[in-house]
Structure 1
Amino acid sequence: MKILQAMFFPPEQPGGVSSMVPYIQENFNKLDWNMEIFYLPKRIRNKGIDDVEFTTFDWKKHEGSVIVDKYIQTLKDYMWWTKLRLQESYDLIHAHHPIAGLVMKKCFPQTPVIITIHSSYEKELLLNHKISQDSSEHQFFTSIYRELESHLDGMITVSKSFKNYLSTFVENKDWIEVIYNGYDFDRFRPITHDNNIPQIISLCRLVPAKGLDILLEACVQLKKRGHSFVLHIIGDGPIRKDLEIMAKEMDVYEEIIFYGYMLHPEEFIPFYDIFVLPSRAEAFGSVFAEAALSQLALVGTNIGGIAEQIDHGKNGLLVPVDDVLSLTNALEELVTSPNFRNKLAKNAWEKAKTEYSITRVIDQLKTIYLKHVN
């Protein structure tokens, strides 16, 4: 069987999709399945000129928005690149972004095309204050899900909570299947260590949706309570300077290290003690699974896929969104109790090893692929 994995970002980009799809390809190729990866290079801009039409809604009602117009142009660019580069036929195409899914079905109408929705672009835009609820842009992006349902052959998503979210925008919620992310366990090597000062790590793109402002406020409270710690923030993004200024103004800059983007953070994660990310939304939250596989104690918000990964008090701690006091108390409990955090870390590792195997993902995908081809 010949399968195309149609990504949006290049595989070397940070994020759960980019880290997982190459391992899917590697494992399928070991099984003698012919699998290729396709994506839009970052240098491709403003090449596409084909008209874009959707059958389930009129996107031109939303024309004139910078965000919508950019999305449409990117779709045109993806179409241009696909027509230029893909001349072969495939038995099935697995897309990992709405643009990739719509373009692939347009270019290969007779080929089964399924899609995994890994995250919500409109939620990210809302939380990052780029659009407002029920605005024209919001209506445009939520309408895309019905367009996907109308044309594609199947949809997968990464958590039950995110399936429930997507179900409000499609006609048949049973059309959506859930496959939790999976990881190559060889990438993660827990290391026995003893840090005299607790080492806390947060790993994400630095945008408002990740709630790092709340984390900095919690760090202020931890310091006021007399606790020693170091917070390591790995990642980059548009609010990095704002966070650094905030840390200085709050007098916690000396307790925080900003690393910027790091290509293979899993090589460093095992040396820390606690992973924390107070996100305001997460479809799955791959970094929590990766931190669990590195045997760290987990602290996350009680939303989306995070809440499906963490059993509060057993393999991590959950706190409400935007709740500085609850986050401070959770971090204080772990900072002051090495035995408790080690217990949570071990339980997190055991759950992750059981539930987030790449082998499990391959088996589930094989079943779905064969269902659509046969």
Structure 2
Amino acid sequence: MRLLQALFFPPEQPGGVSSMIPYMQERFSSPRWEMELFSLPKRIRNKGSEEVVFDTFDWTLYQDSPVVTKYIQTYRDYLWWVKLRLHKTYDLIHAHHPIAGLAMKEAYPEVSLIQTIHSSYERELILNGRIKEGGLEHQFLTSLYKELEAKADCLLTVSESFKDYLRPYIQHPEKIDIIPNGFDEKRFKPVPHENEVPQLVTVCRLVPAKGIDTLLRACYELKKKGHDYVLHIIGDGPIRSELEKLAQELGIYNETIFYGYTLHPEEFMPFFDIFVLPSRAEAFGSVFAEAALSSLALVGTDIGGIAEQIEDGVNGLLVPENNPVALADALEKVILDPAYRYELARTASEKAKSEYSLSRSVNLLKKLYLQYEVCS
């Protein structure tokens, strides 16, 4: 079977897709499977010029929005790059971004398309204050879900909670299948260690949706109670300077280390003790599975895919979003009780190995792919 994995970002970019798809290739290296990866390089901008027409809605109703016009131009660029670079035929295309899926179906209308929706761009934009709920951009971006439903032969997503999120925007939500992201255990090598001062770590893009402001305020509460800790923030983004300023204002800057962007944070994670990320939205939350495989205790918000990965008090701790005091209380529990912290980490690691292994995800995908080989 000739299979094309259509990404949007290049495989080396951070995120849930990049944590799985590039590592799948070796699992498909057999005479039965021939798998390629395709993505849009960052240098390709403003190349495409084709007229864009969708089957289920008129996108020009929203063209007064710069966000929408940029999205449409990116779609044109992706389609231009597809037609320039791809000249093979494929038995099946699996797309991992709406732009990738729509462009591939335009270029290969006769090839079956599996579309995974990994996250919600509109939710991130709303939480990051870039668009308004119910505005032109929100209407356009949610309309794309019905277009994807019309174009794809199969819709996938990564969690039950995100399937529920998609429900109002498509006609047949019951047909959506769920395959969580999978992680190659060989990438994660837990290291036995004892840190005299508990080491907290978070890994994310520094945007409002990730709730790092809540984390900093929780750390202020910890310091106020006299607890020693170090907070490591791995990642970069548009609000980094605001967060650094907040850490200074709260008097916790000396306990906080801002690393900036790091390509392979899993290489550092095993040396920390507690992974914490108080996100305001997560379709899945790949970094929690990665932290679990690194044998860290998990603390996260009771939302989306995080709440599906963590059973509160069993393999991690869950707290309400936007609640620094509750987050500080949860962190205090795992800071003060190393044995409890170890037990949470051990259970989280076992669950991640059984439910979020790359082998499991690959096996589920192979079964799905073979259905389309039979049908073709």
Question: Into which bin does the TM-score normalised by the smaller protein fall?
Answer: over 0.9
Secondary structure at 1:16 match in 2: coil
Contact 1:153 1:372 in 2 (8 A): no
Aligned residues: 374
Q: Please report how far the alpha carbon of residue 276 of structure 1 lies from its aligned counterpart in structure 2 after TM superposition.
A: 0.2
Secondary structure at 1:258 match in 2: strand
Q: Please report how far the alpha carbon of residue 166 of structure 1 lies from its aligned counterpart in structure 2 after TM superposition.
A: 1.0
Task: Report the more deviating stretch, 24-33 or 2-11.
Answer: 24-33
Which residue does the alignment assign to 1:318?
Answer: 318
Instruction: Provide closer, same or farther for how the CA distance between residues 30 and 185 of structure 1 changes in structure 2, counting only shifts above 3 A.
Output: farther
Q: Please report how far the alpha carbon of residue 350 of structure 1 lies from its aligned counterpart in structure 2 after TM superposition.
A: 0.9
Secondary structure at 1:18 match in 2: coil
| In structure 2, C-alpha distance between the alignment counterparts of 1:102 and 1:371, rounded to whole Å | 22
2:307 partner amino acid: A
RMSD: 0.8
Secondary structure at 1:134 match in 2: coil
| In structure 1, C-alpha distance between the alignment counterparts of 2:322 and 2:137, rounded to whole Å | 25
TM-score where L is the length of structure 1: 0.99
Which residue does the alignment assign to 1:247?
Answer: 247
Q: Does 1:66 align with 2:94?
A: no
1:8 partner amino acid: F
- Deviations 1:10-66 (CA, angstroms, capped at 9, x unpaired): 001011101210112221124741000000000000000001011111110100211
Counterparts of 1:135-146 in structure 2, within 5 Å, are: 135-146=135-146
| In structure 2, C-alpha distance between the alignment counterparts of 1:25 and 1:186, rounded to whole Å | 15
Which residue does the alignment assign to 1:370?
Answer: 370
| In structure 2, C-alpha distance between the alignment counterparts of 1:295 and 1:32, rounded to whole Å | 36
| In structure 1, C-alpha distance between the alignment counterparts of 2:350 and 2:147, rounded to whole Å | 40
Secondary structure at 2:300 match in 1: strand
- Deviations 1:128-178 (CA, angstroms, capped at 9, x unpaired): 001111111100000000001111111110001101111211100122100
Instruction: Provide closer, same or farther for how the CA distance between residues 195 and 9 of structure 1 changes in structure 2, counting only shifts above 3 A.
Output: same
Which residue does the alignment assign to 2:356?
Answer: 356
1:53 partner amino acid: V
Secondary structure at 1:26 match in 2: helix
| In structure 2, C-alpha distance between the alignment counterparts of 1:277 and 1:30, rounded to whole Å | 39
Secondary structure at 1:365 match in 2: helix
2:199 partner amino acid: Q
Counterparts of 1:323-334 in structure 2, within 5 Å, are: 323-334=323-334
2:250 partner amino acid: M
After TM superposition, the runs of 4+ consecutive aligned structure 1 residues lying more than 6 A away are none
Counterparts of 1:194-233 in structure 2, within 5 Å, are: 194-233=194-233
Counterparts of 1:50-89 in structure 2, within 5 Å, are: 50-89=50-89
Counterparts of 1:1-374 in structure 2, within 5 Å, are: 1-30=1-30, 32-374=32-374
1:210 partner amino acid: K
In structure 2, list runs of 5 or more residues that go unmatched: none
2:370 partner amino acid: L
Instruction: Provide closer, same or farther for how the CA distance between residues 31 and 287 of structure 1 changes in structure 2, counting only shifts above 3 A.
Output: farther
1:240 partner amino acid: R
TM-score where L is the length of structure 2: 0.98
